[in-house]
Amino acid sequence: MASDLSAEIRVRPIGVVDVGIDRPPSARGSRYNVVSTIRVFNRYAAGLLGLEGYSHIFVIYWMHEVRDTRLVVRPWGREDLPDVGVFATRFPPRPNPIGLSVVELLGVSPPKVFVKGLDAWTGTPVLDLKPYDYYDIVRRPHIPEWLCERWEQSRDTVRRAAPWLGPCECREESR
């Protein structure tokens, strides 16, 4: 039974990021300034019907160039931050390098989908698209202090590019 539970699962990409963010080390600015093109493979394109009724979607993708798995990571390599488990971060070197981005949906022209805010490189396989709905909004999530500090540093830049984000205050006193 234990072997069944951990048995390998096979997934097939439903599409690819035809135009995504530049790879490091080029400076790319905020991902919210990049318009990405997702091309859904023709055999799945019928599944896009009605997607344009949503302003935002989740893109689930496969970070195909991740080669290592680390269970404990140091955020941004910073000496002053604590070690954290990889499940407590969005960092790529996960047991399954599945990526998840909330993106603004700019347009659907099957088999292409145009989005803003996708944190995936050109050539990234896409596993699923899901609409973002009211079950996905947490009013004021609590996040660790180290991440709150980082968020406050980037918040104003991010919000200019993605004015639909919000609320954006992670401090207890402003709740």
- Binding a second copy (rule: CB under 8 A), the pick from 65, 153, 167, 171 is 167
Give which of 97, 98, 120, 131 is closest to 19, Cα–Cα.
120
Footprint (CB under 8 A) of a second copy, residues 116-155: 125, 127-145, 147, 151, 155
- Binding a second copy (rule: CB under 8 A), the pick from 12, 68, 156, 174 is 12
Nearer to a second copy, 22 or 71 (CB): 71
Min dist CB 4 to a second copy, Å, is 9
Footprint (CB under 8 A) of a second copy, residues 37-66: 40-41, 44, 46-51, 53-56, 58, 60, 62, 64
Nearer to a second copy, 23 or 143 (CB): 143
> Quick one: residue 70, left, alpha or beta (phi over 0 = left, psi -120 to 50 = alpha)?
beta
Instruction: Give the Cα separation of 13 and 138 in Å (integer).
Output: 29
One character per residue 67-86, x = contact with a second copy (rule: CB under 8 A): ----xx---------xxxxx
**161 binds a second copy, rule: CB under 8 A:** no
Instruction: Give the Cα separation of 160 and 175 in Å (integer).
Output: 22
Q: What are phi and psi of 72, to 5 degrees?
A: -125, 130
**114 binds a second copy, rule: CB under 8 A:** no
Instruction: Give the Cα separation of 167 and 45 in Å (integer).
Output: 34
Provide the 3-class DSSP secondary structure of residue 116.
strand
